[in-house]
Each structure stands twice: as structure tokens, then as C-alpha cells.
Structure 1
Amino acid sequence: MTAKNYDLVVSLGTDYHHFDRLVSWVDAYLAEHPDVSCLVQHGFTAAPQQAEAVERISRAELLELYRAAKVVLVQGGPGSILDAREVGAIPLAVPRRTELDEVVDNHQVEFSRVMEEHGETIVVTSAEDLARRLDAALANPESLQGTLRVPGNNEAADKLSDQLSTLEQQHPSFIRRARQIVSGLRNK
């Protein structure tokens, strides 16, 4: 894939569940804003009609696209949000929902909420909310730029593990997913 700067980069991740809801929201926004350049990494979901699309992309390429984009929009999964934060982007996040058959459990809802409480993401809840937030972010892209989040793997795993201990009783499905991430960080 050739390097190109986009106004908006969207990543749905690689989960096998479809995420048509988010693609339709992005398509609706772009239909009203044809001047906004957009790339959507759509995975198993059907490609958008109003944006450039790629099914899969390497993590390194995706991080470069995030770094250059004015706005990053991701599914609410831990990997997606943390990847955006790694390059300093504060992503807009739409959590997949189990009741819409977009994921196996609601860990993304819980994780996104916790990350929003810590200023690490902005949760989007509807097409109207997305349009409002995209308008604001594209008018002032600096508002979604934060500090880089690139601690060493072991340091990140230790910090996350400490946080998990305090959240375990309140958010069991979030904790299960987060512990998988901690294990993955330690194995890199």
C-alpha cells in the first residue's frame, strides 16, 4: 500500500464478526462531506461505498496511517485503541456490541468506557454523535492529539496488571480480555 495522508483513518480490526453499523455511519458522514479523504480497514465487514477501503493492512502500515491522519476512528477493542494511543492519537471509538452480533461479548463497551474515563479515547454512541465529533475533530485536529504511549512491554504489562486487580470485581469480561493483552505484551 502506498503511503498517503488521509483526513480520517478507520479501523474495524480483524474480528470475524461484521461491523456494518460503523461502516454505514462512516458512509453516511462521507456522503455529506465529500471533501474528507478517508481510508477504512474493514476486515470481514463489507467495504464502505464512500471511502477508500482495504481488507487488511500490516500493523506497521496502520500505525503510519494513524500517525499522519487528522482523525483516527476505531472499533472499541483494546488493541485498536492502544495502537492509536501508541502514535499519540486519541481515537474516536465505537465499541462492538454483542446484542448486535458484532462481537462475542461486551468487553469493548467496558474497555472503551474505562479508557474514556482516563482520557485515552472518546466513545461514540450513534451516527449523529459521530458526525458531531468528526466535524469538531476535523475543524481542530490538534484536539485529538495526546502524548505518545510507548512504555516498554514489561512496564506496560506491569502497569496494566496492577490496574486489573482493582477492576476485577466490577468488570469481569473486560478483565479477561485485558489479561490476554498483558500476556501478549509479556510474550513480545
Structure 2
Amino acid sequence: MSPSHGCAPAPYVLAAVGTDVHRFDRLVDWLERWHADRGDVHVFLQYGHSRTPRLPGAASFVGHEELQRAMAEATLVVSHGGPATITEARRAGHLPIVVPRDPTHDEHVDNHQQLFSRRLGAAGMVRLCESEAELLATLDEGLADPSRFILTADPGRPDPRAEAVARVGQVIDDLMARRIHQRGGGRR
């Protein structure tokens, strides 16, 4: 996904809007305008159901493993306000630049991405950008000093989804054990 030209690879920005059925053309427009002035930066945009961008190599959807590889190679990661994408970016060692979907632009059904992203932004867990000016300034800042957007990657950390599944399994086991105990020890 990220092309290398000569000895030093070009800066590489990965942007992912997720898989929601709503369009996120506002972010597509912002990235296109920003990229038009910066031909030396490669932008890979996963654009979902949004309009097809005028960015080389953009894709509507990519598989999970391909997205993980792209995150590992990226200089900066831009994400919609979806918890899964934000978590994956952080696990890959990035402080994600987050542009939450806005329901007033028909980008989502409610404002949960805005509320979630604002909370993470206040905690310093993401760089929140709710306007085009904020996004463009943050991208320029990140390219000028990428180290400000790097976290310590921890690929060995357990996947929180696996932990959640294990907890649900334990709850089900506990409920079944209670039910069996209430029935007097099992089936007859």
C-alpha cells in the first residue's frame, strides 16, 4: 500500500472511514484538498460507502489483515470515530487522528462517535479533529514531527475482543452451572 521511492520512502497517511453504510464524503473532500497541495505524501484512503475519491490507490473496503499491515507501515493514521479502528491504530503504535462522523451531515444515525471521540481526545488518547482546519493543521504537524503521533506498540498485548469473548463464555458457564444446580444436579 505504501510506495517507496528511492532510498527514503514518502510519508504515508492511512485514512479509514470504516464500514458503516453512511457516506463520509466530508472527510474524503478534506483529504483530497489537503493531498492536492502535498504530492510528496502518499494517502491511502479506505472510503467505505463514501463517494470514490480522487486519490490513487484508494479502496472502498480492505480486509482486516491488509488494514493491519497498512497501519504498521503508515506514518500517520486518520480514523473515523469508530472504537474498533481507533483501538487497532493504537495497538499498532499510532496516536490516531480522529474525525468523528457527524449525524447533522447524515454521516451516522446519532452522535455517539462525537461523544466517544471527544472523551478520548480529552484523555489524550486520540488527536480529535472536528473541522477541516483542525485536520489539515494536525496532518501537517504530524508530517513535520511524526514522533508526536507514535505510541509504544504492544503487539503482544491480548486482543480485548478475545478477553470479552472469554468473559461472556464465563458468564454463560456460570449461568448454566446455576441452572443445573437448581434442577438438582443435571438432567434426568
Q: Same fold (TM over 0.5)?
A: yes
Q: How far did residue 142 of structure 1 move? A: 1.2
Q: What is the CA deviation profile of residues 33-62 of structure 1, one whole-angstrom value per residue up to 9, with x for unaligned ones?
A: 111111100111112113421111111111
* Cross-structure match for 1:103: 108
Where has structure 1 moved over 6 Å in runs of 4 or more? none
Q: How far did residue 114 of structure 1 move? A: 1.5
- Pairing 1:77–2:82 present: yes
- Pairing 1:152–2:154 present: no
- Pairing 1:47–2:47 present: no
Q: How far did residue 184 of structure 1 move? A: 9.9
* Cross-structure match for 2:122: 117
Q: Which sections of structure 1, spanning at least 5 residues, go unmatched?
A: 158-181
1:14 to 19, 31, 37: 19
SS at match of 1:10: strand
Flag the 1:9–1:104 CA change in 2: closer, same or farther, 3 A.
same
Higher mean C-alpha deviation, range 86-95 or range 111-120: 111-120
SS at match of 2:121: helix
SS at match of 1:46: coil
- Pairing 1:62–2:67 present: yes
- Pairing 1:34–2:39 present: yes
C-alpha distance in 2, partners of 1:155/1:55? Answer: 25
Identity of aligned residues (%): 32
TM-score by length of 1: 0.77
C-alpha distance in 2, partners of 1:104/1:156? Answer: 28
Q: Which sections of structure 2, spanning at least 5 residues, go unmatched?
A: 5-10, 170-188
Aligned residues: 162
TM-score by length of 2: 0.77
Flag the 1:120–1:156 CA change in 2: closer, same or farther, 3 A.
farther
* Cross-structure match for 1:142: 147
